[in-house]
Amino acid sequence: MSIEPVTGTEAARAAANRAALARLHAVRPQWRAVVSARDAIALPDFTLLHAGPPFADPVGPPPPVLSSAVLACLHEGWASTETDAQRLIASGKVRLADAQSYRVVVPLAAIVSPNTPLVEVIDAAAPDDPRRRAWSMFGSGAGAQIRFGTRDPAVLERLRWRETVFVPLLAHALAGNPVDLLPLAAAGLVGGDDLHARTTAATAALADRLALPAARGILDQSPLFFLTLWMAACHLMMDAAANGGSDPDATLVVALAGNGREVGVRLAGDPSRWVTQPAAAPRGPRIRPGSREIASPLVGDSGVIDAAGFGAQALRLAPEPAEAFASWLPGDWQTAQPPLFAGDWPEFGGLRCALDAAAVAERGTDPLAAIAMIDSAGRAGLLGRGVYAAPLALFLAALNRR
């Protein structure tokens, strides 16, 4: 497959990417608050946010997203039964919109509704700049999760617990005491995290930083709590790299996400445009070896972590997930993946930074992301951890659209 020449010269592209990298590196992500989606982004009633690019048909989302949307309608009190909730969605009375258009990033098949508590991450280098904010979901501890895309009624109990117990606890700890996220990410990497498939050490470092005995036990049982904080931080940093498309020749990938049907990317030079392809499913070890559920095509916004240079791109620092994924990783992953990235992380020695669509095209290599597998039928939920190879054709198409 060939591509048309990219806009501008190679020198212009290199200069644009250098400028984008400088903006990315200047960001100092800081967890400042927990805020409802209604207050954070003025999310109106009867609007739900989903991961990935917008749906071509928002009244007919894929089953895992539909299952989460049904539970969100019940949680908000817009419907009293699953059937009523499904009717609201099918009629368009409840509107599904892509979360990233609101500067929100959503894990897997989760849904954000107006009462959803969001973690608010700001740029401490520009704390008063409203353009330097990003949000993701506040974790709900151990147990049933809305991000797994099921109809399990235990999810509703977990959401109520999150909003009445867990949120007040950590919101109080945060008041006037924001948390810098780069040091916690560094502690995670040193402790064997890749910051996507595994965030155990970073979550423990967060618990130490909060020094809140009442929260320690909850966080110890929620080793992925740091994940959504880091999703928001990576989204914030990549959004700063794009800077509204101020460098049109920039080819850095600022979003890599799926909606359960399509996988999409956005590039720094034209960050408002999604380029999409049909999505395959991640592959990896299953919780129940030999289970026959079919994994959903890629769903979730968390690929921004891998596009920033973590997740599957940090597996050499994370022996536990690297060993778990060994059978699903290409044999040359340790040498083939780093050249796809445009720079180096100053804060994280040895890690490359910022996936470059032009480098992907030049090398002809599919970049990897560490994204979990969930049931495509929207019933069984989490199937296991997974590795996703983003197709080369997606990046060729993104470059051709410029």
pLDDT at 7 over 90: no
The pair of structure tokens assigned to 309 is 């240079």
Determine the 3-state secondary structure of 312 from DSSP: helix
Give me the mean pLDDT over the 54-72 stretch: 97
Residue 106 — very low, low, confident or very high, per pLDDT cuts 50/70/90? very high
Both 142 and 263 in one domain: the answer is no
User: Structural domain of residue 179, as residue ranges?
Assistant: 30-232
How far is Cα 34 from Cα 133, in angstroms, rounded to an integer?
Answer: 13
Q: Would residue 2 count as lying in a domain?
A: no
Amino acid making up residue 153: P
pLDDT of residue 5: 42
Residues 113-149 pLDDT 10s:
999 999 999 999 999 999 999 999 999 999 999 999 9
Any bridge partners for residue 144, and if so which?
Answer: none
Both 250 and 215 in one domain: the answer is no
Helices 63-76, 154-161: axis angle to 10 degrees equals 50
Residues 201-217 pLDDT 10s:
999 999 999 999 999 99
Both 134 and 209 in one domain: the answer is yes
Both 22 and 74 in one domain: the answer is no
Is the Cβ–Cβ distance between 274 and 247 less than 8 Å?
Answer: no
Q: Would residue 66 count as lying in a domain?
A: yes
- Domain at 134, CATH number: 3.90.1710.10
How far is Cα 148 from Cα 116, in angstroms, rounded to an integer?
Answer: 16
- HSE-CB of 124 using CA atoms within 13 angstroms: 13
pLDDT of residue 6: 42
Residues 213-246 pLDDT 10s:
999 999 999 999 999 999 999 999 999 999 999 9
How far is Cα 103 from Cα 136, in angstroms, rounded to an integer?
Answer: 9
How far is Cα 309 from Cα 369, in angstroms, rounded to an integer?
Answer: 10
Residue where a domain terminates, one of 184, 205, 232: 232
pLDDT at 195 over 70: yes
Look up the pTM and report it: 0.96
For Cα atoms 330, 335, 338, give the angle at the middle one, nearest 5 degrees.
Answer: 105
